[in-house]
Amino acid sequence: MTGLLRGLRRVLDFIYLAAGVLAALCLIAILLLIVAQMVARWTGEIFPGAANYAGYAMAAASFFAFANALNRGAHIRVSLVLNAVPAGFRRFLEVWCFAIAAGVMWYFTYYAYWFAYWSWKFNEVSQAQDATPMWIPQSVMVIGGGILALSLTDHLIHVLFHGDHQIKRDLVDQSFAE
């Protein structure tokens, strides 16, 4: 049983890391799109839809980075209150926070799925020059939201059974307000 749980832990950690790598690749894609658009302007050419593609890549980078940022402690968490309360009440607050956050993200992912599905079903395309089928950038929202919902549920289960979450404390990434 513990071997199965260790394997599941490795798979989940790989998914969170892979999503972070995809987010980084999306940021690189934004850079390349901006440079390509600059070169096109300098040479008198037109790169239709470059700004839209950069926007899609920015949304993808954001949604793919959510779970990885959560696991690395880069999300803003108000730990000032959590550090000031007794351990039993802290655990209650952590369960409450992770349960609410996981519920909201699963709700968001469910409706984002249907949003992308209906865009695909009706063959909705963007109104800009690129005419991109909208289900493509919307599906990134579904995947990234699902990975974050999975991560929040993972932390909720860990708090319930082990008493604490698995968020790493990265002091470099934490804000000074915490």
65 within domain boundaries:
yes
73 within domain boundaries:
yes
170 within domain boundaries:
no
State the CB neighbour count (10 A cutoff) for residue 18.
14
Q: What is the token pair recorded at 102?
A: 């996981």
176 within domain boundaries:
no
The burial class, CB within 10 Å (0-12 / 13-18 / 19+), for 124 is middle
pTM for this entry: 0.85
The burial class, CB within 10 Å (0-12 / 13-18 / 19+), for 79 is middle
110 within domain boundaries:
yes
40 within domain boundaries:
yes
Q: Which domain holds residue 24?
A: 2-162
The burial class, CB within 10 Å (0-12 / 13-18 / 19+), for 165 is buried
- Structurally, the chain folds into a number of domains equal to 1
151 within domain boundaries:
yes
- Percent share of the chain, pLDDT over 70: 90
Over the stretch 97-152, which tens digit does the pLDDT of each residue have?
899 999 999 999 999 999 999 999 999 998 887 888 999 999 999 999 999 999 99
47 within domain boundaries:
yes
At residue 171, the pLDDT reads: 52
